[in-house]
Amino acid sequence: MKNDKIKELLTRGVEEIIDKSSLEKKLKSGKQLRVKFGTDPTSPNIHLGRSIPILKLKDFQDLGHKIVFIVGDFTGLIGDTSDKESERPMLTEQTVKENLKTYIKQAGKIIDIDKAEIHYNSKWLGKLKYMDIGHQADSFSLNEFISRENISKRLNNGKRVSLRELLYPLMQGYDSVEVKADVEIGGTDQRFNLLAGRDLQRLYGQEPQDIITNPLVEGLDGRKMSSSFGNTINLFDLPNDMFGKTMSLRDDLIMKYFNLLTRIDLETIKEYDNPRDLKMKLAFEITKMYHSEREAQIAQDYFVKTFSKKEIPSDVPTFKPTQYDILSILVDSKLVPSKAEARRTILQGGVKINGMVVKEISCNVDKDSTIQKGKIKFIKIV
């Protein structure tokens, strides 16, 4: 039983393990491992792509290991180099603070925060002296940095690479020293930074941490899931959105999502042969993970009613207009951003009142009518 768990721990949602035999040994020793995971509060939303390492943390936590959660309040100010085609801006202290709050809350949807250690890396990084940094920096060569793919790409494209960015791996690596990490988890894009931790731990006389990298997952449109593409499912998405977004997923990604983003036993979903049902199950599971079984069920019912049966859902937000002509209502209720947009949408047959397509730009709407814009947006006039 425990061996099965370890096997899943080492394979599910895992791209690469450095060094695998060392990690296996550590796991079998029975010692409680210190499993480090760091994140910079660059964006207030955690999306499902970022949930992969957090789920891995949960796997460790379930086996009794210690999660050491590092909030990069200091590193976030500097900006990571990894995985960005362009330079990351330095965040202001205030942005970092605001993002932080929601961060922990979101991570708490997956792991038991109370049992984890949480550290803010400003605590130690802010105290390092120039001398220390020089000492650490000597472990690395510029050659290593510029041969990293993301750096060399930018250099070749004539994009700017700032010296500040080169400090980032040192800082992340030094975090490992401070928390005496046995294992660190991160995305494949973090590989360089994770390895820096090993070098620095050696420099400070510690045994180097082992590393687990997680694969990246495609977003709803098949490109890499990223906030800048707008193809994410976020942990804070409302149940209906979460369910609906998942249903819009490309079919060929369904199994990958099950594998990486849930912990459901893959054997149990073999019974589904219709991809729609399988995707429905996926949407249900994901919604359940971040909300509740009950809310997942409600979201599913809503989806079936609205999209499969094309009914007007029973639970429609209400709107009390001040002017009752259709254009004003569409704009005032924020169904569309401007009157020009409202006209366009109507002309294209995208607006319905009580199920009837609106043909006239100037018409009045009665109370108790239900207005539909596009396929998914409804309001009820009161």
Stretch that binds RNA, among 57-65, 126-134, 157-165, 176-184 (CB under 7 A): 157-165
Residue whose structure tokens are 């290991």 = 65
132-167 burial code (b ≥16 CB/10 A, e <16): eeeebeeebeeebbeebebbeebeeeeeebeeebbb
Among candidate residues 359, 357, 352, the one with its CA nearest the CA of residue 373 = 352
The least distance separating RNA from the CB of residue 86, rounded to whole angstroms, comes to 8
Question: Quick one: 107 or 289, whose CB is closer to RNA?
Answer: 289
Question: Quick one: 22 or 227, whose CB is closer to RNA?
Answer: 227
Among 90, 118, 137, 340, binds RNA (CB under 7 A): 340
Query: How far is it, in rounded angstroms, from Cα 338 to Cα 184?
Result: 49
Contact (CB, 8 A) for 48 and 55: no
Number of chain positions touching RNA (CB under 7 A): 47
The least distance separating RNA from the CB of residue 250, rounded to whole angstroms, comes to 4
Region 280-309 residues binding RNA, contact defined as CB under 7 A: 303, 307-308
Site string for RNA, 219-248 (x = CB under 7 A): -xxx------xxx--------xx-xxx-xx
- Establish if 50 lies at the interface with RNA (CB under 7 A): no
The least distance separating RNA from the CB of residue 85, rounded to whole angstroms, comes to 9
Phi, psi of 379 (to 5 degrees): -140, 155
Residues forming beta bridges with residue 118, ordered by sequence position = 69
Secondary structure class of 380 (helix, strand, coil)? strand
Question: Quick one: 201 or 372, whose CB is closer to RNA?
Answer: 372
Contact (CB, 8 A) for 73 and 36: no
The least distance separating RNA from the CB of residue 209, rounded to whole angstroms, comes to 34
- Establish if 276 lies at the interface with RNA (CB under 7 A): yes
Among 2, 129, 160, 270, binds RNA (CB under 7 A): 160
Q: Is there a cis peptide before residue 277, judged by omega within 30 degrees of 0?
A: no
Among candidate residues 1, 69, 72, the one with its CA nearest the CA of residue 35 = 69
Residues in contact with RNA by the rule CB under 7 A: 155, 158-162, 220-222, 229-231, 240-241, 243-245, 247-251, 275-276, 279, 303, 307-308, 327, 331, 337-341, 343-345, 348-350, 361, 373-377
